[in-house]
Amino acid sequence: MEIIKEQNIIIQNPQTKDFLADAFYPETEAKLPLIIFVHGYKGYKDWGAWNLMAEKFAEAGFFFVKFNFSHNGTTTVSPTEFDDLEAFGNNNYTKELSDLGFVIDYFTKNSKVDLQKIILIGHSRGGGISIVKTCEDERINGLITLASVDTLERFPKDAGLEEWKNKGVYYVQNARTKQEMPHYYQFYEDFKNNEHRFDVERSMEMVKAHVLIIHGTNDEGVSVKNAEHLHILNPNSELFLIENGNHVFGAKEPWKENELPKDLNKVVEKCIGFIKDKMVNE
């Protein structure tokens, strides 16, 4: 079966700015379930093994989309480099939820997509964003979290917060690129102004979609306790732990192999089985 790859599609969001998306899907006349992958903090659509993951989902019969948030620091010209640190510093959850909404709107207009089968897969902070969006948007029928946070309130505390307010910016070093990534205080203000909307716990309790929670037991970035907590909040969800799995399930940037890392392959196979069982073969 031939896999169609449409890469670097420009999505225009007048509320934020232009950003890029990819679509991977099989050449077929059938209507396909739409899977939208939501990257996390300091992530982007072409990171590591995400392209191999996209191919595997497409081969399994899905219309798979991944995209760069408009303010993730990449640009439409340089989708794999953090060339716009000013945009990165001005990112916030309102912008990310707006971008995700525009991605859903754009791809649900595609005649190949089955509008009754829309699934979000969110990684890390993208998991928290996906949980909130699934609660808000009735079009979403399936939610899968990968190494997800259980709260979006992940900011400096006490003295650190006061210093951030006074200086207007704090920096986090990107371990891979060694860039000092700015975070402007507006990020925290946006959170406080929309605290009820961004409440991941409340959203997880209210989600009506089929939910699968996947986490590695050796996640160094987001503790596996986050997954266990999300599962308690939504007892109808399924919890799937990857023994000794790390935050990116064995992937890294750059990923030079032709195969998925073993743990990420397990993740993708679990996701495919879950979606087919709950939403395709129901």
What letter does residue 165 receive in the DSSP assignment? H
Residue 1 binned pLDDT confidence (cut-offs 50, 70, 90): confident
Q: What is the pLDDT of residues 204-220, one digit of tens each?
A: 999 999 999 999 999 99
Q: Which two tokens stand for residue 106?
A: 């754009």
Q: What is the pLDDT of residues 225-253, one digit of tens each?
A: 999 999 999 999 999 999 999 999 999 99
Q: What is the pLDDT of residues 105-125, one digit of tens each?
A: 999 999 999 999 999 999 999
* Predicted pLDDT at 275: 98
Instruction: Please give the Cα distance from 93 to 103 (Å, whole number).
Output: 15
Return all residues near 7 (Cβ < 8 A) that are at least 6 apart.
Answer: 22
For residue 33, give the nearest of 117, 100, 108 by alpha carbon.
117
Return all residues near 256 (Cβ < 8 A) that are at least 6 apart.
Answer: none
282 pLDDT higher than 80: no
Percent residues over pLDDT 70 in the chain: 100
Distance of CA 52 to the CA centre of its chain: 16
Whole-prediction pTM: 0.98
Q: What is the pLDDT of residues 167-217, one digit of tens each?
A: 999 999 999 999 999 999 999 999 999 999 999 999 999 999 999 999 999
Q: Which two tokens stand for residue 207?
A: 């989600």
Of residues 1 and 182, which shows the higher confidence score? 182
Residue 259 binned pLDDT confidence (cut-offs 50, 70, 90): very high
Residues 43-68, mean pLDDT to the nearest whole number: 98
Q: Which domains does the chain have, with CATH numbers?
A: 3-280 (3.40.50.1820)
Residues 40-54, mean pLDDT to the nearest whole number: 98
* Predicted pLDDT at 281: 85
Q: What is the mean pLDDT of the chain?
A: 98
Residues 152-158, mean pLDDT to the nearest whole number: 96
* Predicted pLDDT at 103: 99
* CA atoms in the 13 A half-sphere facing the CB of 131: 34
For residue 92, give the nearest of 74, 68, 70 by alpha carbon.
70
